[in-house]
């Protein structure tokens, strides 16, 4: 093998060794660009509304060209939906953290689930207070989805996932106590929890002082405790209806 061939093989080996780190750097870079674009879009959509924000304004706020936005998102609708998904994912994250901080299994079922509901409400309320744009964005998403069938379906699917995750947490807690909460009851609880969260969130947009910091958690707790007690699920496995 001549010297040129050896050099060429050495070059190829070097390229192969560098390709994975380079590819990883590109993936990180792309993720950072998307994150900055999403953050800029979130701020602008919340403060100005979807229709009054252009991709050029989003790109400028993020510190990129319009081409950088298009290289990551097909258009404003896709960017908007990504934000909608991120808001739902935030709620699912809250749910998982709250469920992980489980009360002692020796505590009766109703107080245990009431405490879980209070923790979920407290964390969701904290998100809303720390980021008022969160609720405004939610309202904007719903209004936008109402007039866009494709976006509406995607948002509906994502919200159903949120409801399912909440229902799963309640069913897991009752199952741990030896009681089976029906899928219908679990879904009803999940829907009520989300509806309360949204309702108080929208009230706080108009008058933040009208919604005490602990109100959401307290209402969640009373709702869950009352519903389970009415159903006869008081922590005694023999009390199933």
Q: What is the tens place of the pLDDT at every residue in 97-125? A: 777 776 566 767 777 777 777 777 777 77
Q: What is the pTM of this model?
A: 0.65
Q: Tell me the domains of the chain and their CATH numbers.
A: 1-73 (1.10.10.60), 77-241 (1.10.357)
> What burial class does residue 139 get, using C-beta atoms within 10 Å of its C-beta: 0-12 exposed, 13-18 middle, 19+ buried?
middle
pLDDT score of 22: 47
Cα 99 from Cα 117, distance rounded (Å): 9
pLDDT score of 119: 79
> What burial class does residue 61 get, using C-beta atoms within 10 Å of its C-beta: 0-12 exposed, 13-18 middle, 19+ buried?
middle
If one counts every other C-beta atom within 10 angstroms of the C-beta of residue 25, the result is: 10
The DSSP secondary-structure symbol of 211 reads S
Question: For residue 235, how far is the Cα from the chain centroid?
Answer: 31
If one counts every other C-beta atom within 10 angstroms of the C-beta of residue 241, the result is: 8
Cα 31 from Cα 172, distance rounded (Å): 35
pLDDT score of 3: 56
Taking 70 as the pLDDT cut, the residues of the chain under it are 1-28, 102-105, 107, 132, 134, 177, 231-241
The DSSP secondary-structure symbol of 103 reads P
The pLDDT tens digits of the residues spanning 196-210 come to 888 887 888 788 788
pLDDT score of 58: 94
pLDDT score of 235: 46
């Amino acid at each position: 093998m001549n010297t040129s061939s050896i050099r060429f093989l050495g070059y190829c080996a070097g390229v192969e060794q560098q390709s994975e780190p380079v590819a990883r750097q590109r993936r990180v870079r792309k993720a950072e660009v998307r994150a900055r674009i999403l953050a800029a879009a979130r701020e602008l959509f919340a403060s100005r509304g979807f229709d009054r924000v252009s991709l050029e304004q989003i790109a400028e706020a993020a510190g990129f060209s319009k081409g950088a936005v298009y290289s990551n998102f097909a258009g404003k609708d896709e960017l908007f939906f990504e934000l909608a998904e991120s808001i739902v994912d935030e709620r699912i994250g809250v749910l998982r953290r709250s469920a992980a901080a489980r009360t002692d299994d020796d505590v009766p079922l109703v107080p245990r689930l009431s405490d879980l509901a209070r923790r979920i409400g407290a964390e969701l309320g904290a998100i809303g207070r720390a980021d008022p744009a969160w609720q405004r964005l939610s309202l904007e998403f719903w209004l936008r989805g109402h007039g866009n069938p494709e976006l509406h379906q995607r948002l509906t699917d994502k919200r159903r996932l949120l409801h399912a995750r909440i229902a799963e947490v309640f069913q897991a807690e009752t199952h741990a106590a030896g009681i089976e909460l029906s899928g219908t009851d679990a879904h009803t609880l999940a829907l009520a929890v989300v509806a309360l969260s949204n309702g108080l969130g929208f009230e706080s947009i108009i008058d933040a002082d009208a919604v005490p910091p602990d109100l959401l958690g307290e209402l969640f707790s009373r709702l869950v405790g009352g519903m389970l007690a009415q159903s006869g699920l008081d922590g005694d496995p023999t009390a199933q209806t």
